[in-house]
Amino acid sequence: MDRCVIVGGAPIGDYRRASSLLRPEDFVIYCDGGLSHEGGLGRAPDLVVGDFDSHEKPETGAEIIVLPHEKDDTDTFFAAKEALRRGFRDFLLLGVLGGRFDHSLGNLSLLLYLEARGAAALAADDFSDMEIVSSSPREIGPEYPYFSLLAVAGEARGIRVENALYPLEDGVITPEYAYGVSNEPLPGKTARVSVREGKLLLIRDRKE
C-alpha cells in the first residue's frame, strides 16, 4: 500500500520544500481549504473531502466526498479516517500546522490518533518535521540542527537520548515540565531517541 498525503488549509510558505516531500506514487487527499495549495504543490488530488466552507467545491475529475457543515470530525480528521478505512498505514500531513492555533493542536492530536491505530505519520511545516515516538526508536540526523521532545499524551518514562548534546538515560518527561526542548545532535552524529513507557512528540527542526 502506498503512502497517503493529507493536505490541510494551514499556511504553507515553502512550497519547494513541501513538494520535495511528495512521491510519485502518493495518494493525495486535499481537505477543503487545502485546495488552495494545489497549485503551489503542483499535485492534483486523488480525493477531495470537505464541507466547502473554506473553498468552493472544485470542478475536477477526482473523487469528491462532500461533508455536512455540522459534524464531530474536522475535514482533516475525516480524511485520515477515510484513508485508514481504505487501508493506508503510512501518512504525510501537509498544511496542518500554523494559522489557527486550535486547528494546529487538533491536527497534532491526529498524529496520536494514527499512531494508536498502527499507522506511521509525519507532519511537516515550513520549519519542522514532527512524529510520535512510542514503541519504536527514532533517529535525528545531522541535517536537523535541533530537536525537541514533548510529552503530549501523559507522562513518558524510560526515555533514552543518545548522540546528543544533552543525553538522557531512563528519563521522565511530563506535560507539566517541558525540559526536552531544543536539544542538538552531536556534530556528525545521528541522535537516537527511545521510550519505554508512554509517548513523546518528536520535533525535528530543519535548517533555515
Helices and strands in the chain: count of H runs, count of E runs: 4, 13
Grid cell in block for residue 60: 475536477
Provide the CATH topology of domain 133-205: Jelly Rolls (2.60.120)
pLDDT digits (tens, 9 = 90+) for 78-131: 999 999 999 999 999 999 998 888 888 888 899 999 999 999 999 999 999 999
pLDDT digits (tens, 9 = 90+) for 6-25: 999 999 999 999 999 999 99
Mean pLDDT of the chain: 92
4-126: CATH class: alpha beta
How far apart CA 120 and CA 96 sit, in angstroms, is 16
Summarize the confidence of residues 146-161 as an average pLDDT: 95
Domain locations in the chain as residue ranges: 4-126, 133-205
Q: What is the dihedral of CA 54, 58, 62, 66, to 10 degrees?
A: 50
Evaluate whether 28 touches 55 at the Cβ level (below 8 Å). Answer: no
Grid cell in block for residue 200: 513523546
Question: Are β-strands 168-173 and 191-194 bridged in parallel, bridged antiparallel, or unpaired?
Answer: unpaired
H helix or E strand, kind and range, residue 42? none
pLDDT tier, 57 (very low <50, low <70, confident <90, very high otherwise): confident
How far apart CA 134 and CA 179 sit, in angstroms, is 18
Query: Looking at the DSSP assignment, which residues form a beta bridge with residue 156?
Result: 173
Question: Are β-strands 120-124 and 156-162 bridged in parallel, bridged antiparallel, or unpaired?
Answer: unpaired
For residue 128, what are the CA distances in angstroms to 42, 64, 73, 97, 200? 21, 30, 25, 10, 15
